[in-house]
Amino acid sequence: MDEAATCATRGIDLAAWQTSTLDQPLMLAAHTVGFLGPRGTFTEEALIAALGGEPASDPIAGARRELIPFASIYDTVQAVSKGEVDCALVPIENSIEGSVSVTVDVLAHEVDNLQIVREVRQPITHRLIARPGVRLEDVQKVVSHPHANAQCRTWLRDHLPDVEVEAANSTAKAVERVAAQEAPWAAIGTVLAAKEYGCVVLCEDIEDHDDNETRFIFLSRLRERQDLAEPYKTSVVCRIMKDQPGALLLILQEFAHRYINLTKIESRPSKRGLGDYIFFIDMEGTVSQAQVADALRCLTCKLLEVKVLGSYPVGRPPQRADAF
C-alpha cells in the first residue's frame, strides 16, 4: 500500500469544512464584524483599510455593516466562535515584536470551529497625541500600550528623555486617558483615536523602524472559498507525540518531499508541561491542492494532532502612505 493510501486510512479529511459559496470574500459579505477594541485601535484602522474605507456599508448586499469592538483578543475570537458576529479581525504578528501570543494560543487551544479566511498587512505609524493646546515641551508623561512604547523607545529617549512612560491596555485607551487628564500628558496612538477622543497629533512618524507593520487575520466559522483569483496560504498547528530526536524533521520532510514552500514555522508551549511544544506552520497553497492535502494527511499518521487553522488569500504588502 502506498504512503498516501496508508495515511488516508488513519487520518482525517482535513479539507472537510463548510466552505463559502458566496461570490465575494467572506469579510466583505459579513453584516457584523468584530475587532479588537476599543475604537481607535490599530486593529480598527486595519479593518477600515481592508473594507476599502467604507466600513459602515456593504455595497454588494446593499445593507448596513456593523463594526463591533471587543475588550480583548480572547473576547473578539469568542464572539465569532459563538456566532455573535459574522467574522472578526485580530492581530497575529508584528514585524518587530513577533507573533501575538494571545491570538495564536486561543486559536490553538480555545476554539475548534473557526477558520482564518484572509490576512491583511497594515503599516504601523505611531503618533504622539495630546489634548489641544499641549506642546511637546509641556509633556510630563507618555502613556501607551507596552508594544507601542517599545517601538518608539529611541524617539522617546531622544525627544522626551526625562519624561515618565506608563503602560496602558491599548493605544486607544491611552489616548482616552490623556483626553480626560488636565495634566499635560501625551499618548502614542492612531489618528483615529485622536479624532475619537478630541485630541491632536503633536508629532508624526515617531516609530523607530520605518518598516513596522502588523499582520491581521479575519476569522469566520466558514472556510473561505478556495478558488479566488489570489495566491493562498494554509496555516496549521502540529502536535508531536513526544520530544525526541528528529521530531521536527518528521514534519518538515513531508513538505520538502512535495516541494511545498513553508513561509513560517514557530514553536509555542503546548500547555501540557514545561519543554513540551506545538508547531505553527504557514505554507503556500490550499488544502484543496493535492500536494498540500497529501502532506497534511500523512502528518496525521505521525503526529498527535494536525489542526488546520485556515486556507486563505495572502495579504498584500502594505503601502506606507497614510490613508487617514
- Give catalytic residues, as residue numbers: 214, 216
Tell me whether residue 186 is exposed, middle or buried, using C-beta atoms within 10 angstroms of its C-beta: 0 to 12, 13 to 18, 19 or more. buried
Nearest to 80 by CA among 35, 121, 21: 35
CA distances from 223 to 17, 70, 78, 234 (A): 7, 23, 17, 11
Which of 58, 122, 123, 43 is closest to 88 using CA atoms?
43
d(CA 108, CA 151): 27
Coil, helix or strand for 11?
A: coil
Distance CA 212, CA 209 (A): 6
Burial class of 242 by CB neighbour count within 10 A (0 to 12, 13 to 18, 19+)? exposed
Among 236, 246, 241, 243, CA closest to 297: 236
Cell of 102: 494571545
267-276: string of b/e by CB count within 10 Å (b at 16+)? ebebeeeeee
Q: How many Å apart are CA 314 and CA 284, to the nearest integer?
A: 9
Strand partners, 156: none
Question: What is the DSSP-derived secondary structure letter of residue 317?
Answer: P
Peptide bond into 38 cis (omega under 30): yes
DSSP E strand boundaries for 55-100 = 57-58, 63-64, 66-70, 87-94, 98-99
